[in-house]
A and B are shown apart, each in its own frame.
Chain A
Amino acid sequence: MDRLKSLLTAILRDWMMLLGLLLLATVFFMAATAPLFFPQPPDTMMGPPLQWPGQYAGAPLGTDGLGRNILAGLFYGAQISLLVGFASVTVAMVFGILVGAFAGYYGGWIDNLLMRVTELFQTIPQFMLAIVVVAVLGPSIQVIIFSLAVVSWPAIARLVRGEFMVLREKAYVQGCIVVGMSDMRIIFTQILPNAMSGVTVMSTIMIATAILMESALSFLGFGDPNVTTWGTMIGMGKNNLRDAWYIMTIPGIALLLTALALNLVGDGLNDYLNPRLRSQRGQ
């Protein structure tokens, strides 16, 4: 009975990771093929407004209040979501890893200083901080990516710092010092690779959060006015909520599925990386 259960959970876990990867691949496919399927920009009027899905042949998922093709919006929106998600988390990772690595490796006043700054960022609610940054610097894709990186890096910094504090005490790191290795070389070639598995898992899930936050910003009108994103589409739909709820629901579902996919992949990675981690640490 027990054995059957563990087998099932194992398959189920793999199966969920597979589903996550498939969903994610679909989103990437949409982003990559958007200009191919829809040569017109997504904000051009393609047909009569407020056509329900299936009603109008030119737009299989219907059109919005201005006659824009919702399917085209989804495809182009995928580009923005992925760009914002991956770019902001990459920036956050670079910065968070640097801060966390130095704080964790050196400890003492460097750690105190860096962690004070990190905490400062964490005391302000993430979304508020993002809005403030966008409000001050003006709404553009670059600024949104920057603002989301600003709110994401502290969590990575803390995680990396924790890993570094444990790993720097390991005998192999002491051995590297004795051999005469420089601090930079120890930090980046000896400790960081061993600290990356946790960061990888965390950043996958953070990409999902960033994508959701970008949509929320766009929904509230803090998005880049020059591009169509899932968030702006949802925002547009709220005027027609009663008679044409599909306008809001379709991009909403796309958003949810993408976030779900990233979380599933994150969970799968975690399960996959952890046992290996254990055997590498010789437990």
Chain B
Amino acid sequence: MTNPLLRIDDLHVSFRVGKEMIHPVRGISLHLNRGETLALVGESGCGKTTLARTILGLQAPSSGVIEYDGNDIAGLDRFQLKRFRPHIQCVFQDPFSSLNPRKRVEQLIREPLDIHQIGDKSTRLKRAHQMMERVGLPIDWGRRFPHEFSGGQRQRIGIARALVMQPDLLICDEPVSALDVSIQAQIINLLWELKRDMGLSYLFISHDLMLVETFADRVAMMYKGEIVETGPARQVWSNPQHEFTRRMIDAIPVPDVTRPTPPAFRIDAE
């Protein structure tokens, strides 16, 4: 068996807010294989974003191991992390605050290449244009500013910027929850195609169990800073082991009128 691309072992994150210490990640262990999509599902405030931020080096862990391709990257400083940056990228939830409003689109997409000095100026611009085309943005929109785009288009810009360095792992923190259903489908399809064509692995954070089941290979259910169960979505849904998973599944309204109303919505039982 080959090594997993990402392996997290007994990771703890805690930090001080005012006078209190909070402990949003409490001993998480998980792994993500190469080419796999692992969904991280859990209630609001359970620590999903904190976990993602820690993997990305935006938040220092208090203890534990984060192993990327066999290298422990937990707690590395900014300089040491720079070597791994091209490999691990992310897409944020809010398409409005995640792009610098004063940069042109092609500048935004080219920037990561500039920082890591990949290729010369003209090849970088060419790569940025190729990436724009790949995510479905016309190249002649490259000189526009982010505020001239819709939410879905901005999310495409964010994806292009994240993928221009050809990373192996993309961490998506609720990448479509701010988007409309019809636009959400476009972005999910794009992510799916990119994964197929570029051999990406995804850590996909979401609230939407229906979406997770369609899109992810495995799910990790997170509850109050811990992973309570993992497995293929279908298997976890059909045979939930943890009380929290069961409650969550009972509460999903399937968009299908031929299916029975889930128990959590029924009032006749009262």
Contact = CB atoms under 8 A, between A and B. Distances in A.
Interface string B165-206: 100000000000000000000000000000000000000000
B27 interface: no
B98 A175 contact: yes
B134 interface: no
Nearest to A180: B85
Contacts of B98: 170-172, 175
A170 B112 contact: no
B143 interface: no
A88 B98 CA distance: 37
Nearest to B92: A171
Interface residues of B, number: 30
Given A180-B82, A280-B101, A175 B147 contact: no
B99 interface: yes
Nearest to A193: B102
Interface in A90-123: none
Contact of B92 (A175, A182, A183): A175
A280 B92 contact: no
A281 B98 CA distance: 10
Nearest to A172: B100
A280 B56 CA distance: 27
A194 interface: yes
Contacts of A180: 81-82, 85-86, 112, 115-116
Contacts of B147: 279-280, 282
A187 to B, nearest CB: 13
The secondary structure that dominates the B interface is loop
Nearest to B90: A178
A280 B100 CA distance: 9
Interface residues of A, number: 21
A253 interface: no
Interface string B44-85: 000000000100111000000000000000000010011001
A174 B98 CA distance: 8
B161 interface: yes
A213 B98 CA distance: 43
A273 interface: no
A281 B101 CA distance: 7
Contacts of A280: 101-102, 147
A10 interface: no
B14 to A, nearest CB: 17
B96 interface: yes
B111 A171 contact: no
Interface string A138-172: 00000000000000000000000000000000111
Contacts of B245: none
Contacts of B101: 194, 280-282
B183 to A, nearest CB: 16
B58 A174 contact: yes
Contacts of A190: 100
A193 B101 CA distance: 10
A178 B162 CA distance: 9
A182 B78 CA distance: 8
A132 interface: no
A181 interface: yes
Contacts of A174: 53, 58, 92
A175 B85 contact: no
A177 interface: yes
Interface in A174-212: 174-183, 185, 190, 193-194
A216 to B, nearest CB: 39
A29 to B, nearest CB: 34
12 contacts: A170-B97, A171-B98, A175-B158, A177-B56, A177-B57, A178-B89, A179-B112, A180-B112, A194-B101, A194-B102, A280-B147, A281-B97
Given A174-B92, A175-B92, 8 more contacts: A171-B92, A172-B100, A174-B53, A176-B100, A177-B57, A178-B57, A179-B111, A180-B116
Interface of B: 53, 56-58, 78, 81-82, 85-86, 88-90, 92-94, 96-102, 111-112, 115-116, 147, 158, 161, 165
Q: For the complex of A and B, list the 7 residue pairs with the smallest distance between their C-beta atoms, beginning with the closest.
A: A282-B96, A180-B85, A171-B98, A280-B101, A179-B112, A171-B92, A171-B97
